[in-house]
Structure 1
């Protein structure tokens, strides 16, 4: 992922993915029971009303560490997108939403199609994939009231298409992913999907598609996160300043500013600072090209840091086959071909994945962060388409990167991004 952030656009490549440690898994038990008692609708994980896909090597070994697999997936997804033309663009991507919507496809796949998708997502088997999903679902501490996190899933079957939803599939995705599978008329399916996405992203992604009337089946996921800084930036300290773009231009931005003790790391390749957020989430801002960022977190030490960061807002849309091509490059090509086997999803019809679309948006200001992602899979049945303390300086008036991660002994990346102009 070296030199992955050279472009000077606000690339908020949001990587929403995390795998909880064993202690986190134990803490999930009681919380999961609460979620399971709710209606079999999508579970909202919010302040008071709680609700609740990536790849590594295409041939993961059974004793591979799950964290390593996921980290490889993150890096390879970012690298693939940048090689596809995003290195100098503003963007945010969510591997977690990507993986989650793929999990809905895995639940309906069989034979080699199922195996190839699981491996391409970076998992050894379906059980590990489902364990990952539950860890993501319950990782943020929503009980604090200062963070809103919800992860929703749903499926729609076009009643004009051949075949019908397999009832076992309908039951499985409801039980495993709190997802409903609805039968919808062709003239209603587009609005049904768009309305659901708009609600799940709190209006940040109002529409996924203009026309889904020809699609046999739609699978969708949304992830929404809103959290405040533990130490807010004072609005009175926000001032306009110069930001040096990667292409040499100087643009004006509103810079937030504060000085306090934060976890900090610096080496010859760059520097990073960690800002804690409510709900067991941290944000890592990085200048330079430090590799293995999550590994460097353990090397951070509390230091007095003067921070200047620009406020920003950006959105992105991956709707030009980028994500399908990435999955094909990971060895899951069969799922996108007429040879695909999704018989566990739709009975009496041969279907395949025709496209995967993701839309994202993020806002960062003095109070905190609001980020969201919506991912959709289109399934078709036709042919394929004290002393004086030294103050460290972290002045982000040039291209910088950031990571939103879980605050635990084994940090998991929730979002990844960069600001380049």
Structure 2
């Protein structure tokens, strides 16, 4: 091929204009391809980041049963975006091709070389884009597969941990409920002991410790003379169902304790009872009824003990009473009572005399005040005349003392 030599007007150097232009175009095209590769790489990274964000949001919002459909939809959107980007790149390439064709028309002598170079560059670019698209697709598929595998492992690990936590929660809940029922029972026992102690301070309230055989509490009834009148044992139950063996167990505890009365305080009453009452020799009541019921039962024990005391040794007591009435001790006590009344009468007379003296002194003071008031009124009346309104009590034929008091 004949070379088209061109001479430089400055230095006189001769060079092939077509070859120089070809090298220039190769350099420019290479720079354009490198720049386009960087732009494409940035777009691919942005596309990857955007796809990853969409996948993360998608995975959070969708449920497990829609997973396969969601993956297909995400892949479809990715393909559509890739196709749109490919169309945009193709359109950009078409624009560049038109620019090259226009330049080729202006420089017709370089048309053949430019066309060959353009075809080569076009083929290289298409091949590069094809290779990049294939690699991008492979990278995306590999990343997607790796993410799916990692997500599946994380999901299985989470499910296993969740199952273990749920088992632990259920076990702790069961233990807490069991401990709560025991705690509620102990709280009711302490409340019963507190009510009995406050309501009957003279009685002895004995708590039966946990683990010891017997009822929950024993009340020893003591009357006002310090005499023991009997015992009442208490059993506290706070469950949802009434136990069938509670009555028999409490009877056994009653016999072992030697108590006269046994009371079962329960949250759930027997089916045939809706309020407190006696069942098979055992008194059954609710927590809110215990104070009233124990008051009645305690009074029964006290009256029973009183009847026993009256009947026991009646003749001996009459003899003791006669001896006491004829003794000097009784005489001294009666004298002390009479002396006390005499002292009271003497003090009363003294107070009466003292009050009469005080009343007389106050009466004289009042008379003095009234006299001074009359003198002052007369003086003012003599100076002012009828300008002073009359006071009926101080005028001739005036009113009673109440009017002066009103003044």
Same fold (TM over 0.5): no
- For the pair shown, the structure with the greater C-alpha radius of gyration is 2
Structure with bigger helix share is 2
Structure with bigger strand share is 1
User: Could you state the TM-score of these two structures normalised by the residue count of structure 1?
Assistant: 0.17
Q: Which has the higher contact order (CA 8 A, sep 6+)?
A: 1
